[in-house]
Amino acid sequence: MARLHTEQKAKESTYFHQDFHIALNYGIEYVRQRFGPESVKEYLAQFAAAYYTPLKKALKDTGLTAIKAHYEKIYHTEHAQFQMQLLPAELHILLHASPAVAHIKAGGHKVSPLYHETVSTVNREICRDTPYDCELTKYNPENGGYQLRYYKRSL
């Protein structure tokens, strides 16, 4: 019969709880099953519009370097393998495999067939009302790897 006690300060740990990928996957699946595929896009667009407001502003103010800096930070946090190429009016992003998909699968959970919308819908929404657009040019549903192209809209 043990008595255990512990105290932890936030600064003693690094904020990195990968199980949240599983919870997001179930969130997408719940919306898909209950309200249909279009509602998944609607939800992710609503989230992106609300959460990425500062990133959208940075994209308008400083251009594609803002997106590059954002994803460099995200991928480093997630220990992802990636490549980026910044051209004068384009940004090419290659994510070899998604750490999120790897974690969901490692836990024995089924990845939502609409999980790719966390890339395509979210990034399109980030571009909305900016001079830029983006397209998901490749997506590997097995490992969640993708190629994403940001580009300046034609006038």
Task: Name the burial class of residue 126, with classes exposed (0-12), middle (13-18) and buried (19+) by CB atoms within 10 angstroms of its CB.
Answer: buried
Residue 111 to residue 144: CA distance in whole angstroms:
9
Nearer CB in complex with another protein: 54/153:
54
Which residue of 98, 112, 120, 130 would you call a contact of another protein, by CB under 8 A? 98
Least Å distance, CB 154 to another protein, is 27
Site for another protein in 35-74 (CB under 8 A): 35, 39, 42-43, 46-47, 50-51, 53-54, 71, 74
Ramachandran bin of 129, using left for φ above 0, alpha for ψ from -120 to 50, beta for the remaining angles = left
Residue 138 to residue 129: CA distance in whole angstroms:
24
Is residue 83 a contact residue for another protein (CB under 8 A)?
A: no
Which residue of 4, 61, 88, 154 would you call a contact of another protein, by CB under 8 A? 4
Nearer CB in complex with another protein: 28/64:
28
